[in-house]
Amino acid sequence: MIPESFGYSAPSSLIDAYALLEQHGDDAKILAGGHSLIPMMKLRFASPTHLIDINKIPNLSYIKEEDGYLKIGAMTREVDLEESEVIRHKYPIFTDASKLIADPQVRNFGTIGGNIAHGDAANDHPAVMLALGAEVVISSAAGDRTVGIDDFFFGFYTTAVQHGEILTEIRIPSLGPRTGSAYHKLERKVGDYATAGVAVVIGLNEDGSCSKVGIGLTNVNPTPIRAARSEQILLGTTMSESDVAQAAQYAAEDCSPSDDLRGSVEFKKDMIRVITKRMINKAIQRTKL
Amino acid sequence: MEKRKEIFPFGIPGHNLSEIEREIPNDEPPAWPVNDQLKEVGKRVNRIDARAKVTGEAKYTSDMKLSGMLYAKFLRSNIPHGSITSIDTSEAEKVPGVHGIHIITKNKEDGMVGNEYPEIKYVGQPIAGVAAESLSIAKDAVAMIKIEYDPKSFVIDLEEAMLPDAPLVFKEPIQRQEDGGDVGVVHDGSKGQGNLRGPTTSSFYGGPRGDLEKGFAEADVMVENTYRTQVHTHMPLETHGVVIDWKPEEMLVYASTQNTAGVRNELANYFELPKSQVRVICDFMGGGFGAKHSAGSFGPMAAILSKKTKRPVWLMIDRKEEHLAEGNRPSSIQTLKIGAKRDGTLTAIQQKSHGTAGVALGAGVGRIAQILYDCPNFKTEQYDVLTHAGPGAAWRAPGNVQGAFGVEQAIDELAEKLKMDPLALRDKIDKSEVRKVERSRGAELFGWSNRKPAGSASGIIKKGMGVAQSCWPRFVTLNSSIEVRILNDGSVEVRGSVQDIGTGTKTILAQVVAEELGLKTTDITVRIGDTLFPDGPGSGGSVVTQSITPPARNAAYEAKMKLFNQIATKWETEASKLEAVDGFIIHKDDRSKKIPFKEALRGMRTSQISVTASRSNDYGGFQQPWGLAYGDLGSVQFAEVSVNTNTGFVKVDRVVAAHSCGRPLNMSQLESQVNGGVIQGISYALYENRVMDKGTGHFMNANVDQYKVPYSMEIPEIEVIIVEEYGALSSTDAYGIGEPANIATAVAIANAVYNAIGVRIYEIPITPASILKALNKIYE
């Protein structure tokens, strides 16, 4: 449980951070909250030769509504999401998710940017972002670029963030009226990674039919996965009991969990079915709030 | 010894409290009244070491830092079975900061035939140790030892180990390890064949009873089922380990141990040293649940490395090693057949069990089936199955926890067949008076009358209620001594080797001595956990309270009488005319004649009075002369659960635990121990499970991340009822409660789950998947 030796820098600006990334090459890693990276280093699953700590860089922690987006700075701590009034009122899906992430000590330091940039399908925010149709702002010395969440996760622990780049902001398209969102995960006991988790965003037309739907799944696929067939079958419908049941069934069929100590493939798929149904109904309920 | 007659309280206050006359030796102190009339004993006294513990001032073994101390680390086997063909330490020796390396070789008595290294029998078996200037240097050096194995086929699954062509763990008969604590029932490793050892058919309560065939023929109703429990590893906060400084004149050992005297004896014996030259200290203990009685392999390793390097050596094992190699509660597969008459009277109980303690023995399922209920016809056959896995060890009520999981479900199944309430059936077949009171007081607090028929709850989340009982013997360690010293400033010191495992032994000793001397608990200085002082019991078998508090009281009484004699001479009266109350020594006939306790010894010829007393026999004798007292430590626990029938998740909402322990000494500490037992029971029922990989023989979840123990969020409301029960058996009449606290919880939860969903779960841990499978919601 002792990492291999590594160098450490704590730049005070993004410009300096880009320079350090350039200087140290592929073996440098960005350190945000450290709650994924440091355990992996202690287990020696990761052995970066240099850590670039971005905690001292100002203006990377914020939650603001601007230009039709909810913008969240990459260094925003989980606890800030948990306690934000805007989030609690308009984006309760974050409150649902934040409360279920690890334990208070982790949430006091873990960041939303790190949660996503880690590219781990077991983390909770990726599914939430998929459901919300988020965009990710990736910055480098060459400037900023924006990547849609569906193009962000490449594979196991790999994302669209390339060498020399830093994830700096998450943008959520503002949710219109009559929108509801919800997230839940099953965990063997409090603080565990998800056995199975489901994020759902639902928007309604004035007639009550489904105008918008996003469903993301946690820890049931090598990469964070969107339940695309489930979304398609709901869109435009009144979301009757049978529509919802079918959407839940598709989510279960389309995910690819692995057999592990959290449960068998069959058990996890069935949990996706149960939770998808529950979260769709909860999101629909929240459209009325 | 001259004897006198003395009247003692007897029975259960609020139920059947009376008095009994006993003839006791003259040097025993007078009978104490019931707790109501005492000042320190039986009260909610704060732990005397609470401040030291919460402020971090308390020094545990792993905190010890001695001058020039080295840190040691084990190299452990990476294969489950095989022999070591070569070990090359040359690279490791060159690592700067490495001071000593020791390779474990076969003992002389093993004959040293062929290979000089012991055969590897499980993943995690210690092979060598490195002592270095820091732990990280030691770890790096361990990684540089080159080792070559000749691997052999292995078996880690209990049922596969019983097949005729299974790889053998031991080719020869084996013995149970000494100093391992009580591991259920006595096992004889010389019987059996292949990987099977046994059967064990008797215990100290005797062997088979009556005629099974006749008993089953007389039965109107029968229950027969198989119950399974998992391997449950030890997870004390502080892992096993020692700090040893082997100096020429003395081997000084700081140990995280449940038995300082035992570890001293073991090390003295191992290294052929006089006991007087080994000193073992355990001032604060970071948790122990049965596996910390022995010096283990870390004791000798640290001692050898200390001798080699002439430096103190710190050797605390890490969490993974703790899981792999330092004991576990063996698994069990138990078949129970119980017959009863229409009115509930039991006619026959037949039990057959197999369990694996890995490379060790001790997988019996205890004595619950044998003695919890009245039944004339009884037979048990308990087998150990050896596998290539880490050794089992005592684990809080060894055997009885597994045994209760079968028996208490079977009794509930019987009650259902007889259309009786589970409590009513137990009223019929349980002769214990104290459990009768526990059932009735527990049922009332719990609200048992609100329990609904099994499976009748509607909705997705179903609630259920369950109950289960336990028993545990009242063991007494007769070799228990303690010293009480009254110094000439009136301060009082209690000294013994007995350690405080964390349950509050220091505090109850202070309470008992304070009560006897008319002082406050906080007036007493307690120095225990040091073999410099008189030998006390190990903290296992729930023996400590009944073994060490009577000699503590007797020593305080004798010291007090010595003090009284001196004062009486001065006051020209008799010692019997004096009493010690509220910090004064007072003349009973002339209460104006008094002297503060703090001044009583001033001007005396000696600056101290010191008395060492040993445990005397129980006033009414013993069931077994080696120290099996009369009565048992019974409990009844009630659990309420919620089961989500869509996800299979079980939440324990509430537990009511009704317990007895003779005369309760400290209500807060007793409640704390019961809380701990219940929490471990919940963990056993729902979470903890050793998972082995059949392909590699590795323990898959040997960590804290994947080996699940509950957080506070999983812990329900726990309400504790302590039933006072006087037996007039010793000068304190007090007993331990540690093990009984852990026996009934898991099976009470299993019975509650059945009540909730109407389908019985025969195996723990009860997982969401097992619930859904039972409900036919998923098919595996």
CB pairs under 8 A between A and B: 48
Same domain? B566 vs B643: no
Report pLDDT for B186: 52
Selection from B532, B164, B531, B182 nearest residue B327 by Cα = B182
B780 vs A: CB within 8 A: yes
Q: Which residues in chain B are closer than 8 Å to A40, comparing Cβ atoms?
A: none
User: Using CB atoms, which residue from B135, B710, B777 is nearest to A189?
Assistant: B710
- Tell me which of A9-23, A267-281, B31-45, B589-603 is least confident: B589-603
Q: Domain holding A77: CATH number?
A: 3.30.465.10
Give the separation between CA A101 and CA A114, rounded to whole angstroms: 13
Identify which of A189, A266, A275 has the shortest CB distance to residue B708.
A189
Q: Give me A93's structure tokens.
A: 């899906």
Mean pLDDT of B81-95: 96
Number of domains in chain A: 3
Indicate yes or no: CB of A267 within 8 angstroms of CB of B647.
Answer: no
Whether B285 and B348 map to the same domain: the answer is: no
Residue A83 sits in the same domain as residue A164: yes
Residue contact B687–A188, C-beta within 8 A: yes
User: Which of chain B's residues have a Cβ under 8 Å away from the Cβ of A271?
Assistant: 647, 768
**Mean pLDDT score of chain B:** 95
Residue of A nearest to B318 (CA): A1
The answer to whether the beta carbons of residues B335 and B351 sit under 8 Å apart is yes
Integer Cα distance of A81 and A76 in angstroms? 7
Does this model's pTM top 0.90? My answer is yes
- Check whether residue A23 and residue A76 sit in a common domain: no
Which is it for the CA torsion A103, A107, A112, A116, positive or negative? negative
- Classify residue A265 by burial, with Cβ atoms within 10 Å: 0-12, 13-18, 19+: middle
Q: What gap in Å lies between CA A205 and CA B608, rounded to an integer?
A: 91
Q: Which residues of A touch B (CB under 8 A)?
A: 1-2, 103, 186, 188-192, 195, 261, 263-264, 266-267, 270-271, 274-275
- Distance separating alpha carbons of residues B78 and A182, to the nearest angstrom: 46
Q: What is the DSSP letter of A77?
A: B
Q: In CATH, what number is assigned to the domain containing residue A272?
A: 3.30.390.50
Give me the residues of B, 316-375, that contact A with CB < 8 A. Answer: 318
* Cross-strand bridge partners of residue B473: B632
Question: Looking at CA atoms only, how far is residue A267 from chain B in angstroms?
Answer: 6
- Is residue B722, in this structure, part of any structural domain at all? yes
CB B256 within 8 A of CB B62: yes
Asked whether the predicted pLDDT for residue B4 surpasses 70, the reply is yes
The shortest C-alpha distance from B750 to chain A (Å) reads 18
Q: Which of B478, B511, B474 is nearest to B494 (CA)?
A: B511
For B769, which of A189, A264, A275 is closest by C-beta distance?
A264
- State the nearest Cα–Cα gap between B762 and chain A, in angstroms: 19
Say yes or no: A281 and A244 in one domain: yes
Q: What is the CATH number of the domain that holds B186?
A: 3.30.365.10
Within a domain: A34: yes
Residues of A with CB below 8 A from B769's CB? 263-264, 267
Q: Domain total for chain B?
A: 5
Q: Are residues A74 and A166 in the same domain?
A: yes
Supply the ipTM of this predicted assembly: 0.90
B647 and A274: CB-CB below 8 Å? Answer: yes
Output the pLDDT for position B706. Answer: 93
Could you say which of A103, A192, A266 has the minimum Cβ distance to residue B778?
A266
**Which residues of chain A neighbour B708 with C-beta distances below 8 Å?**
188-189, 192
The CA distance from A206 to the nearest CA of chain B, in Å, is: 32
Q: Which of B592, B614, B636 is the last residue of a domain?
A: B614
Q: Give the angle B604-B610-B611 at the CA atoms, nearest 5°.
A: 135
Q: Which residues of B touch A190 (CB under 8 A)?
A: 711, 713-714
CB contact under 8 A, A266 and B779: yes
Tell me the per-residue pLDDT of A193-235, one tens digit each, with 9 for 90 and over: 999 999 999 999 999 999 999 999 999 999 999 999 999 999 9
Give dist(CA B283, CA B277) in Å, integer.
19
Angle between the A241-254 and A265-286 helix axes, to the nearest 10 degrees? 140
- The partner residue sitting opposite B647, judged by closest CB among A2, A266, A271, is A271
Per-residue confidence (pLDDT) for residue B176, from 0 to 100: 62
**Stretch 606-665 of chain B: residues touching chain A, C-beta under 8 Å:** 646-647, 649
Q: Which of A150, A173, A196 is the last residue of a domain?
A: A173
Does B106 lie at the interface with A, CB-CB under 8 angstroms?
Answer: no
What φ, ψ does residue B639 adopt, rounded to 5°?
-135, 145
The domain containing residue A82 runs over which residues? 63-173
Residue A87, domain member (yes or no): yes
- CB A218 within 8 Å of CB A197: yes
In a domain, A58, yes or no: no
Which residue, among B764, B772, B769, has the nearest Cα to B687 in the 3D structure?
B764
Q: Please answer whether residues B538 and B261 qualify as being in contact, where contact means their C-beta atoms are separated by less than 8 angstroms.
A: yes
Q: Do B768 and A267 touch (CB under 8 A)?
A: yes
Q: Is position A2 within any domain?
A: no
Q: What tens digit of pLDDT does each residue of B152-203 get? A: 999 999 999 999 999 999 987 776 655 444 444 556 677 788 999 989 999 9
Half-sphere exposure of B320 (CA within 13 A, CB side): 16
Is residue B348 within a helix (H) or strand (E), and if so which, with residue range?
strand B346-355
Show the 3-state SS of B534-588.
Answer: CCCCCCCCCCHHHHHHHHHHHHHHHHHHHHHHHHHHHHCCCHHHEEEECCEEEEC
Q: Which of B245, B299, B316 is nearest to B66 (CA)?
A: B245
Contact B768 A186 (CB under 8 A): yes
Q: Give me B726's structure tokens.
A: 């006087």
Residue for token pair 């509430």? B654
| Shortest distance, CA A189 to any CA of chain B (angstroms) | 7
On whether residue A196 sits in a domain, the answer given is: yes
Chain A residues touching B683 at Cβ < 8 A: none
pLDDT tens digits, residue range B703-749? 998 999 998 889 999 999 999 999 999 999 999 999 999 999 999 99
How far apart are the CA of B485 and the nearest CA of chain A, in angstroms? Answer: 47
SS (H, E, C) B400-452: HHHHHHHHHHHHHHHHHHCCCCHHHHHHHHCCCHHHHHHHHHHHHHHCHHHCC
In this structure, the answer to whether residues B290 and B367 fall within a common structural domain is no
Integer angstrom CA distances of residue B695 from A284, B155, B581, B692, B699: 47, 10, 69, 9, 11
Nearest-CA distance A283 → chain B (Å): 19
A82-91, B64-73, B169-178, B756-765 — which is least confidently predicted? B169-178
Contacts of B649 in chain A (CB under 8 A): 186
| Mean pLDDT within B112-137 | 88
- Label residues B732-766 b or e (16+ Cβ within 10 Å = b): bbbbbbbbbbbbbbbbbbbbbbbbbbbebbbbbbb
* Residue A210 placed within a domain: yes
H or E segment at B594? strand B594-596
Are A126 and A206 found together in one domain? no
CB-CB neighbors (< 8 A) of B780 in chain A: 264, 266-267
Q: Specify whether B348 is located in the same domain as B492.
A: no
Looking at the complex, report in whole angstroms how far the Cα of residue B74 sits from the nearest Cα belonging to chain A: 15
Together in a domain, A80 and A108: yes
The C-alpha atoms of residue A125 and residue B780 are separated, in whole angstroms, by 31
Both tokens of B661, joined, read 């322990």
Whether A40 maps to a domain, the answer reads yes
List b or e across B12-22, with b for residues whose CB sees 16 or more CB atoms inside 10 angstroms.
Answer: beeeeeeebeb
In chain A, the percentage of residues whose pLDDT exceeds 70 is: 100
Residues B223 and B361 in one domain: yes
| B265 and B395 housed in the same domain | no
Based on the fold, state whether residues A258 and A202 are members of the same structural domain: yes
B217–chain A Cβ distance below 8 A for any pair: no
**Residue B48 — pLDDT band, cuts 50, 70, 90?**
very high
A44 and A124 inside one domain: no
Is residue B285 situated within a structural domain?
A: yes
Spell out a b/e string for A61-87, using b for 16 or more CB atoms within 10 Å of the CB, else e.
Answer: bebeeeeebbbbbbbbbbbbbbebeeb
Specify the pLDDT at position A250. Answer: 98
- Domain end point (choices A139, A173, A207): A173
- Say yes or no: A209 and A127 in one domain: no
In a domain? residue B703: yes
Q: What residue numbers bound the domain in which B123 lies?
A: 64-152
Q: Are residues B192 and B258 in the same domain?
A: no
DSSP letter assigned to residue A109: H
Nearest-CA neighbor of B118 among B305, B329, B299, B297?
B297
In a domain, A1, yes or no: no
Provide the CB-side half-sphere exposure for B771 (13 A, CA).
Answer: 28
Contacts of A270 in chain B (CB under 8 A): 772, 777-778
Tell me the C-alpha distance between B452 and B465, whole Å: 8
Write the DSSP symbol of residue B677.
H
**Percent share of chain B, pLDDT over 70:** 97
Are B212 and B359 part of one and the same domain? yes
Inter-chain CB proximity A189 and B778 less than 8 Å: no
- For residue B696, count CB atoms less than 10 angstroms from its CB and return exposed for 0-12, middle for 13-18, buried for 19 or more: middle
